[in-house]
Amino acid sequence: MSEKLFFPVIETERLELKPLVIDDSDSLLEIFSDPEVMRYWNTAPWTTIQDSLDFINESNGSMQRQDSLILGVYLKSTGELAGKCMLFSYDKESKRAEIGFGLGRSFWGKGYIREVGEALIQYGFNSLGLRRIEAEIDPGNQSSAKALEKLGFSREGLLRQRWEVNGIVSDSAMYGRLVSDHPAQHNQAMYATSA
């Protein structure tokens, strides 16, 4: 599999998804140090610029190893970084990966998750050859649950007391979408990519 597959530029109507760079570190810290953004994550809010730099370096290393696809979400209109999206826990043999998103609070409620999500899902199915994409969320995170359902995911189960972050124990709701779930969508070119 070509390394370029893990360093794509994916365009949607309003957004561009591409690898993060060091210059994004301040914007990333602003987004992921917000306790509201991190409320349902399995890690604590970021506290220093080093958290951002480590994330960018680890992301690029993970993509070079072809373990994950971790992209910044940028507004086409301004070039502003709105957040990040990921296909991670990539299992080439089983043709599956896990999807995740994180957007700054000022970008919530604008339909970006659906736009980013569908583009990333189609990239996973069409370019990476995935058969299954999964998502794990806190059952209390109703906005993520609704977003996943709009993206064609089915809730498949509940893992009780799966995480403990800062002394708080939480469950995980498991969602999945198969390439065969929406064959008409799979054949549509919903985004443009370039290497």
Q: Spell out the per-residue pLDDT of the chain, length 195, in tens.
A: 556 889 999 999 999 999 999 999 999 999 999 878 877 666 778 899 999 999 999 999 999 999 999 999 999 999 999 999 999 999 999 999 999 999 999 998 999 999 999 999 999 999 999 999 999 988 888 888 999 999 999 999 999 988 787 787 888 899 999 999 875 554 444 444 444
Q: How far is CA 65 from CA 12, 177, 191, in A?
A: 26, 25, 25
Q: Tell me, what's the pLDDT at 2?
A: 59
Q: Tell me, what's the pLDDT at 183?
A: 57
Q: Tell me, what's the pLDDT at 5?
A: 87
Q: Which residues of 114-124 are buried (b: 16+ CB within 10 A; e: fewer)?
A: ebbbbbbbbbb
Q: Tell me, what's the pLDDT at 28?
A: 93
Q: Helix or strand or coil: residue 145? A: helix
Q: How far, in Å, CA of 67 to CA of 88, rounded?
A: 7
pTM of the model: 0.86
Q: Tell me, what's the pLDDT at 29?
A: 92
Q: Tell me, what's the pLDDT at 176?
A: 97
> For residues 50 and 159, is the Cβ–Cβ distance under 8 A?
no
Q: Tell me, what's the pLDDT at 118?
A: 95
> For residues 85 and 67, is the Cβ–Cβ distance under 8 A?
no
Q: Tell me, what's the pLDDT at 43?
A: 72
